[in-house]
Amino acid sequence: MIRSLVSAFAALFLLVLAPTAVAQKRIALTFDDTPRAAGAFFTPQERAKRLIASLKKAQVEQAAFFVNPGKVQSPADEALVANYVRAGHVIANHSFSHPHLNQLTADAYLADIDKAEAWLAPRPGHRPWFRYPFLDEGGKDKAKRDAVRAGLAARGLTNGYVTAEGSDWNIETLTVEAKKAGKTIDMAALRDLYVETHVEAAEFADGLMVKTISRSPVHVMLLHETDIAALYIGDLVAGLRAKGWEIVTADVAYADPLNTAAPDVPSANGTLTELLAWEKGLPAPRWYARNDIKLANRLFAERVLHEASAE
């Protein structure tokens, strides 16, 4: 009996002294602009097939594809979207025609969302999330921002926000331009730049979130349905895991309490990480360094093309 009591007290003592487990860094992968036009290396159908296979090989259970139904121009495009769902992924609203909110009235913008939702809602894999094109939530126009926020709520749609991004669209654009110009592309360097950039973006976002909300939330990474993703998503997943990240589903990510956040800042556009940090009064920079396009372009020129930048 005495021995049992001693053992119990010893176990309790060790439990009290044991360090608190470090919170697991978790992140979901999301892809914008589906279906996207042909890139530097693949047709849209080739790219989607490769992306599906790469996600499966990397054991990514579920990614989210934010769809622009206005880009669905053929049965092949429609099948492309259905194939993502068939592979276990989900689809959500990225507007019908990918407009900037600052170029439309709130009513016209919501009508474009409605048009996309009419196409998406009956389909398997649909989720009631809306991602603002260009991450533009109204800029400095707070009346428009609030009108769209209210319109989304009335429609049962929630913000498909982003917490981490590395401007992969720019890496893709530079790659397409280099290919068209007949330049030699160092594919290994392209892979390394893509992976390094997005792992760093996730690490930066998590550090800023901890400063802002005192915890590591379930993050959402913004990617685009690009040829580079099709080539290197497996490498990116491996890079994230090597840094201690767990890849989770978009369903898990959007169940985080962040899903109700509606930051009130002087200009509403960018990642949720930036907006929350700004709202709290944290100083700039509140964005990942390589989202500075001049810096990103220089790195691409030097590392991928092995040439001096245009600066």
Q: DSSP per residue over 204-221, as a string?
A: HHHHHHHHHHSS--EEEE
Residue reference for tokens 């401007």: 167
C-alpha of 209 from chain center = 15
Nearest alpha-carbon partner for 102 in 71, 134, 150? 134
pTM over 0.85: yes
The domain containing residue 293 runs over which residues? 22-303
CA distance 274 to 205: 8
Domain-embedded: residue 272: yes
Domain-embedded: residue 10: no
pLDDT of 6 > 80? The answer is no
The residues with which 110 forms a beta bridge, in sequence order, are none
Domain-embedded: residue 92: yes
Domain-embedded: residue 3: no
Nearest alpha-carbon partner for 111 in 127, 93, 124, 125? 93
Report residue 263 as tokens.
């930051």
pLDDT of 245 > 60? The answer is yes
Give residue 21's pLDDT band: very low, low, confident or very high (50, 70, 90). very low
| Strand 164-165, strand 218-224: pairing | parallel
The residues with which 268 forms a beta bridge, in sequence order, are 139
Domain-embedded: residue 12: no
CB atoms under 10 Å from CB of 259, counted, come to 16
141 phi and psi angles, rounded to 5 deg: -85, 90
The residues with which 90 forms a beta bridge, in sequence order, are 64
Give residue 176's pLDDT band: very low, low, confident or very high (50, 70, 90). very high
The residues with which 147 forms a beta bridge, in sequence order, are none
- The pLDDT tens digits of the residues spanning 98-136 come to 999 999 999 999 999 999 999 999 999 999 999 999 999
Question: How long, in residues, is the chain?
Answer: 311
CA distance 208 to 202: 10
The CATH number of the domain holding residue 272 is 3.20.20.370
With contact defined as beta carbons under 8 Å apart, do 264 and 279 qualify?
A: yes
Domain-embedded: residue 9: no
Domain-embedded: residue 310: no
- Burial class from Cβ neighbours inside 10 Å (0-12, 13-18, 19+) for residue 142 reads middle
CA distance 35 to 146: 29
Domain-embedded: residue 5: no
Give residue 168's pLDDT band: very low, low, confident or very high (50, 70, 90). very high
CA distance 300 to 311: 12
- The pLDDT tens digits of the residues spanning 140-156 come to 999 999 999 999 999 99
Q: How many domains does the chain have?
A: 1
pLDDT of 78 > 80? The answer is yes
